[in-house]
Structure 1
Amino acid sequence: MIELKHVSKTYQQKKNMVEAVKAVDLTIQKGEIFGVVGYSGAGKSTLIRMVNFLEAPTQGEVWINGQNLNQLSKKELLLTRRKIGMIFQGYNLLSTATVYENIAKPLQLEGISAEVIEKRVNTYLALVGLSDRKDNYPAQLSGGQKQRVAIARALAHEPEILLSDEATSALDPETTEAILELLLKINKDLGITIFLITHEIDVVQRICDRVAVMEEGRVIEEGPVIQVFTQPQNPTTKRFIGANEHYDVPEEVLDGYKSTGRLLHLQFIGEEATEPVLAQVAKRYDLLPNILSGNIRYLKDQRHGQLLVQLTGGTEAEFAEAKAYIASQGIIIEEVHA
């Protein structure tokens, strides 16, 4: 569906050359939700703007559905872009146009008939839940409603791909959740491939199938969300997702527990998150589990549980056997050292 082949983007700023994106290779499959995360300045926005050639890469190629965008004429590129919708953090709505007109005007510029425009506008306003707001102006809408209009406008072109550039960054948590639910519905019901960038880690774990982490213009880690979030390899990825933050337990408290027992960070995926593994550890070995902290969340549709556990008593051999038993139950286990 989307292939970025060794794409790079360099800008000239006064006397300096700035490398915004450096030799990125990514493949996004048809029908998936793919997220790119990273700190500010990582190159995310430049990367997503190269997907529809709002920014032409300095080097490398962008392929959409088997077409090399680098080789298209201006007319061919314009036609291809119509199958790539885009939503922005700032909504980009015309303040003097109604909701209906904001969605209809781009279609009018394409030469689409009034009958088709009316049908599409009404269809996608209904999809985003704003049928009763079509005669309102943007100033009469909340931030979440404005973003829904922007999504309807993008969908009205009936694209195969939807690009999202920090679309929830300006929204409160409750509205963000509603927009994410809408994106999931669009992906599921319409089969649209979604490529999004964000600095909000919750967005990725809530809706994405796969994720890439960027730093200083490069992709430093990539894979299924469940893999990257539970077993991050790069130090930046670990910092970004908070892998080393043991549930906000103060370091001095952790030090106290380390002095009286062994600390384990356990991660349960799927059905393992409901199994009484620690009860079995206490039963099988001369060890006493003490749960210090924990949580259960969902990485898209997979349950992910975490526990910070202290094991006291027993010998080193029993501790090693207990760790081996826990790992044999499909649980990711990591010893927490001082």
Structure 2
Amino acid sequence: MAKQTVAVLGPGSWGTALAQVLNDNRHDVRLWGNIPEQIDEINNQHTNTRYFKDVVLSSDIKAYTDLKAALDGVDAVLFVVPTKVTRLVAKQVAEVLDHKVTVMHASKGLEPGTHERLSTILEEEIPEDLRSEIVVVSGPSHAEETIVRDITLITAASKDTEAAKYAQKLFSNNYFRLYTNTDVIGVETAGALKNIIAVGAGALHGLGYGDNAKAAIITRGLAEITRLGVKLGADPLTYSGLSGVGDLIVTGTSVHSRNLRAGDALGRGEKLEDVEKNMGMVIEGISTTKVAYELAQDLDVYMPITTAIYRGIYEGADIRESILSMMTNELRAENEWR
């Protein structure tokens, strides 16, 4: 692939890791953020120590606080910002972008209030004459491993196969590979909802339970994620792929998972506000739990794990009791759809 110029919006852990992947592929990478001290550190020290203590970034990666400058003449824009600010940043992009680009996102969540997927937000806020069909980059990936070039396989999903193939070629190299998919709904809902199940898996660990319980909640969690996704129009086979079961395994079992660590702390009896303060990073599973619970109620979808976590976080129930009760009292046929 010819050298491309790519603006990566969001210098968090995943945005920084993806910027390095693109730089390794000899693309021109511009990393945009709104914290001047962080941007100065990336440009002058070539580090991002808030997220990676011992990683030195290429001096070819340039960081910006000026969005217009970051977008000037780029071929593609990659959104890697928290769910709650995706719409705001998309509006800002639409205001200053002056040419058509390939628009991608690598965030995982559903918008509070509207319950919308992130690709839908980008479609709404960025005019069609300025963008391609949205490409979703998602799958089993921890920034802490990608940044040290561990082998990582994920998905590029778009309604436009050619846009997905563009992202595949843009990112793929000898340690980072993308598989294309056209099921945007499935890939996005899998990426968002697995964070909830990871919180539940962490809570079970915090309660002192082992691998049997973790395997149980991950497997039953996949069933309820699939139920909701299919109701929204997804292909059930997507949930057996990298962006489904793959992402659920890595998020529900790894020490790198913020959602797992948050659930573990809740399972040990810590208060949510203390957990969020100590984490220092966005815990998408917390806000996504509320969105998924509301969607499940609206669509009449059976989601017992999500409901148990919701009641623990938002209704003041003891999350440990809620999770344990759900795991030990459910009596259903395994293949029961609702």
The TM-score with structure 1 as length reference comes to: 0.30
Identify, as 1 or 2, the structure richer in strand: 1
**Largest Rg, 1 or 2:** 1
The two structures have a TM-score, normalised by structure 2, of 0.30
Larger RCO: 1 or 2 (CA < 8 Å, sep 6+): 1
Instruction: Report the structure, 1 or 2, having the larger helix content.
Output: 2
